[in-house]
Amino acid sequence: MQPLTSTSNTITLAVKQLAEKIYGGDFVFPDHFSLPTTISRSLQLDYATVCQAFLATENITLEKYIENLRTEKTKEWLVYTDIPLQQIAAKLGYHSARQLSAHFKAATGLNPGYFKGIRKSRLSIKAMPGKPS
């Protein structure tokens, strides 16, 4: 990949694409994963420069964006899949389901089980007679 020398918009787009690749579910996190190092190496830019560009474009810190992305992915997988919480944690780079649960509750005010309950409700409604599946 060529070094980015372009605008904050270009940097932000590249960061979002990389974040989606990392937190999209198929990335295998190495034992000592560092998001700042991964971003810096991938974009061939200093992490502080990337963070400044991201903040200027999105009006949110990169760290907060990543936290929000991980939270939304967790909600999505809890409601729309039957993936166990431990596997969701691994897909999102958490060390354990307990760590994911703590981060999730801090971000949403709700336990992951609440969103699993939404999935069960959705499945119950779909199974009702006369309801389209």
Domain ranges of the chain: 1-59, 68-133
What pLDDT tens digit does each residue of the chain (133 aa) get?
444 446 899 999 999 999 999 999 999 999 899 999 999 999 999 999 999 999 999 999 999 999 999 999 999 999 999 999 999 999 999 999 999 999 999 999 999 999 888 877 776 666 656 655 5
CA gap 2, 61 in Å, rounded? 25
Q: Where are the beta strands (DSSP E) in 8-114?
A: none
| Spatial CA neighbour of 43 closest among 94, 1, 84, 83 | 1
Q: What is the reported pLDDT for 129?
A: 66
Does domain 68-133 sit in CATH 1.10.10.60? yes
